[in-house]
Amino acid sequence: MTEITRVALDAMGGDNAPGEMVKGAVDAVAREKSIKVFLVGKEEAIRRELEGCTYNSEQIEIVNATEVIETAEPPVNAIRRKKDSSIVVGMKMVKAGEADAFVSAGSSGAILVGGQTLVGRIKGVERPPLAPLIPTKTGVSLLVDCGANVDARASHLVQFAKMGSIYMENIMGVKNPRVGIVNIGAEEEKGNALVKETFPLLKETEGINFIGSVEARDIPHGAADVIVCEAFAGNIILKLYEGVGDVLIKKVKAGMMTSLRSKIGALLVKPALKETLKAFDASEHGGAPLLGLNGLVVKTHGSSRSKEVTNTLIQCVTFKQQRINEKIKNCIQTDAASAE
Amino acid sequence: MTEITRVALDAMGGDNAPGEMVKGAVDAVAREKSIKVFLVGKEEAIRRELEGCTYNSEQIEIVNATEVIETAEPPVNAIRRKKDSSIVVGMKMVKAGEADAFVSAGSSGAILVGGQTLVGRIKGVERPPLAPLIPTKTGVSLLVDCGANVDARASHLVQFAKMGSIYMENIMGVKNPRVGIVNIGAEEEKGNALVKETFPLLKETEGINFIGSVEARDIPHGAADVIVCEAFAGNIILKLYEGVGDVLIKKVKAGMMTSLRSKIGALLVKPALKETLKAFDASEHGGAPLLGLNGLVVKTHGSSRSKEVTNTLIQCVTFKQQRINEKIKNCIQTDAASAE
């Protein structure tokens, strides 16, 4: 019998909820038989979206939650007060063991706070990092941490490297993933205080393939599989990727419209271009897991459409089947034991 | 009588020295009558490059320097030991008042160290930042600091904002330039410890147009004219710009080569595309000044070709004519006086 992965999906989170969330769930269950999706949110609204959709009714269930946490709300308060919000209800399902994973395109702050306080950390994990896959010339790299822990300490970064390696090896199938620390030069003596403190620790960490410093310039070229950094730097990397990509693509399009000759050319290159650029689109690669929690919590883009939701839901199945959390637990707790 | 701007150019610095450096100087003096360029470096090598070039001999002079500081050398040692290197000799000319500016595509570390120890800071300036112009959708923004002062303090960032504003207003002609601090969210309460400390200080700084936080995603869209950040973050921004741009352009080119149809299209769009993308090329905008020194020091890309060298040399003329350093001096020293 196939093991079922149960995912609580925040039907109310993100710019395109509930429509694209529900569509993402419907598409996911059509593609993957071993998943069950709980659509958490306002029952009426969800039911309306499900009307007319064809799906295996054993694979989709609505869980009513009457409140919604808005992006602008201060996260700590929101999690504490809105007990019947889709985020709180969904996370509590993970905590209670009724779901294996929670997926949301909603407020990042609330997801980070809720992940730590409602779902809880794996024993020994100091700071759970948010770890999206970012596109590179040759594939993808995992960026840990892209926004959960600003002003992180060296010991946190070492755990990021370990958890990131487990993720890339088991979810993405990268053998012996190369771990690099984001730095402002390739030499070991370069860097800020945090990098200088972390570098020697990473060098002596067993079980990871540390390749040293990675300059931001080389990240898009695929210089490392696991890119370790503090969250302020990681957030800049993630968002600048989007920003530069967005502006450049607009420039390319505008350039193609400047003359009749180029307009004709544009018609000819467009289909091929679209295909190539798809690989460089972050939303193709699903959401960002918050690593190191007692259960899986995944944040998808606020602007997620159904395709990203579907991809993320299906990633949850791999996450469960590959026993990622048990591997993280073993890795972190072995260290704690040997440190005693 | 026109005022002459005297620039000491490191003829030995960068990947394409001395050839492209000398060519850059020859082109600059052809374009700009009020400049005099001292080519600092190995006399023989420079003379060979100058052979066959036509130029006004009153505008170009060779200054012999027998040593070269390599990029890989530890900068402090290199500056101390290689007294007859092009960097040390050129900077000492600025210190002695024999040149107004020093331009180099050589070792960043040596230029930063030499700038501080040989040329020296304007009284009151705590940390001279390296401030390149970065391309945006609509024009350019000044990024301060992109690499001179990692782990900078809040008071340094406030000075970066002031010096950056003076530069953008007087060199680039941007009236009342918008100053933004790089942050991981738009709300005032977001950020790391440094940003949280700096934000209120910038809010109360007189004489600058502080518009608040700028997310990395919005930098390429031209969200602010002066982008203030600590050097580790700034270096990531500068280098990721290059990296993402480089990979995306390669993807676009590869995409165009995937079918016969797209290849024909590529021939038609290429000229228009080249023109549009030129505006998004950092080397079009000259080098990065090290602001706040007793004289002008400019670092150009290690891979600079003659065009970037020429643009940078001509920028030095504007820098002198606009009396940037006197304006910085007045602005910083007024503050120091009012703080007493």
CATH topology for B131-282 is Isopropylmalate Dehydrogenase (3.40.718)
CATH class of A1-125+292-340: alpha beta
- Per DSSP, the residues of B282-336 read GGGG--EEETTBSSEEEE--TT--HHHHHHHHHHHHHHHHTTHHHHHHHHHHHHH
What lies within 8 Å, CB to CB, of A313 at 6+ separation is A7, A9, A24, A25, A28, A32, A35, A37, A103
Give the model confidence (pLDDT) of A87-106 as tens digits.
999 999 999 999 999 999 99
d(CA B184, CA A96) in angstroms, rounded, equals 33
Q: Is residue B298 a contact partner of residue B103, using CB atoms and an 8 Å limit?
A: yes
Residue A273, chain B, CB below 8 Å: the answer is yes
B184/A234 Cα distance (integer angstroms): 9
Q: Do A251 and B215 touch (CB under 8 A)?
A: no
In terms of CATH, what superfamily is B1-125+292-323+336-340?
Isopropylmalate Dehydrogenase (3.40.718.10)
B254 contacts in A (CB within 8 Å)? 276
Each residue's pLDDT tens digit in chain B (340 positions)? Answer: 579 999 999 999 999 999 999 999 999 999 999 999 999 999 999 999 999 899 999 999 999 999 999 988 999 999 999 999 999 999 999 999 999 999 999 999 999 999 999 999 999 999 999 999 999 998 999 999 998 888 999 999 999 999 999 999 999 999 999 999 999 987 767 899 999 999 999 999 999 999 999 999 999 999 999 999 999 999 999 999 989 988 888 888 888 888 888 899 888 888 888 877 777 776 677 789 999 999 999 999 998 999 999 999 999 999 999 999 999 999 887 766 665 5
Chain B within 8 Å of A151 (Cβ-Cβ)?
Answer: yes
Residue ranges in chain A whose pLDDT is less than 50: 340
Of all residues in chain B, the one with the smallest CA distance to A271 is B262
> Model ipTM?
0.91
Residue A213: the pLDDT is 96
Q: How many CB atoms lie within 10 A of CB A186?
A: 12
Distance of CA A251 to the CA centre of its chain: 28
pLDDT digits (tens, 9 = 90+) for A309-323: 999 999 999 999 999
Report the residue from B74, B216, B269 with minimal CB separation from A266: B269
> Whole-angstrom Cα distance, residue B269 to residue A257?
9
Query: Is the Cβ pair A255, B277 closer than 8 Å?
Result: yes
Q: Is A335 exposed, middle or buried (0-12, 13-18, 19+ CB in 10 A)?
A: middle
A216 touches chain B (CB under 8 A): yes
Q: Where in chain B is the domain with CATH 3.40.718.10?
A: 1-125+292-323+336-340, 131-282
**Would the CA dihedral through B332, B333, B335, B339 be positive or negative?**
positive
The CA distances from residue A160 to A216, A229, A298, B83, in Å, are: 18, 8, 16, 45
- A82 near A92, Cβ under 8 Å? no
Q: How far is B140 from chain A (nearest CA, A)?
A: 13
Tell me the chain A residues in contact with residue B193 when contact means C-beta distances shorter than 8 Å.
Answer: 150-151
Spatial distance between the Cα atoms of A147 and B160, rounded to a whole number of angstroms: 25
Out of B233, B249, B256, the one facing A233 most closely (by C-beta) is B233
Superfamily of domain A131-283: Isopropylmalate Dehydrogenase (3.40.718.10)
- β-pair type (B140-144, B133-135): antiparallel
Q: Chain B 19-78, CB below 8 Å of chain A: which residues? A: 74
A156 within 8 A of A181, measured Cβ to Cβ: no
Q: Which residues of A touch B275 (CB under 8 A)?
A: 255, 258
Buried b (16+ CB within 10 A) or exposed e, B206-215: eebbbbbbbb
A109 to chain B, minimum CA–CA distance in Å?
Answer: 10
Backbone angles phi, psi at B281, to 5 degrees: -105, 120
Contact present, A111 and A94 (Cβ < 8 Å): no
Q: CB–CB of B243 and A220 under 8 A?
A: yes
Yes or no: say if B134 and B144 are a contact pair by the CB < 8 Å rule.
no
Q: Which residues contact A145 (CB under 8 A, 6 or more apart)?
A: A127, A129, A130, A131, A152, A156, A160, A229, A230, A231, A234
Residue type (1 letter), A25: A
Tokens representing residue B58 in the block: 């009153």
User: Quick check: B38 and B103 in contact, CB under 8 A?
Assistant: no
Half-sphere exposure of B284 (CA within 13 A, CB side): 14
DSSP lists the bridge partners of residue A67 as A85
Both tokens assigned to A229: 């950094």
- The residues, ordered by sequence, that sit 6+ positions from A206 with a Cβ below 8 Å of its Cβ are none
Distances (CA, A) of A337 to A205, A330, A334, B310: 15, 10, 5, 62
CA nearest to B134 within chain A: A244
Residue intervals of chain A classified under CATH 3.40.718.10 are 1-125+292-340, 131-283
Distance CA B69, CA B114 (A): 11
**Cβ A305 vs Cβ A283: under 8 Å:** yes
**Residue B18 preceded by cis peptide, ω within 30:** yes
Task: Say what the pLDDT of residue A278 is.
Answer: 76
Q: What is the DSSP string of A95-162?
A: HTTS-SEEEE-S-HHHHHHHIIIII-BPTT-S-PPB--EEE-SSSEEEEE-SSS-TT--HHHHHHHHH
Q: How many CB atoms lie within 10 A of CB B15?
A: 12
CB distance A252 to A167 below 8 Å:
no
**Residue A186 carries which side chain, given as an amino acid letter?**
A
Closest-approach residue (CA) in chain A for B251: A276
Residue A282 is predicted with a pLDDT of 66
Non-local CB neighbours of A179 within 8 Å, separated by 6+ positions: A161, A164, A165, A202, A208, A209, A210, A211, A224, A225, A226, A228
Of B240, B266, B277, the CB nearest to A251: B277
Beta-carbon-side half-sphere exposure of residue B52 (alpha carbons within 13 Å): 4
Q: Kindly state the DSSP code that residue B174 receives in the 8-state scheme.
A: -
Count Cα neighbours of A77 within 13 Å in the Cβ-side half-sphere: 5
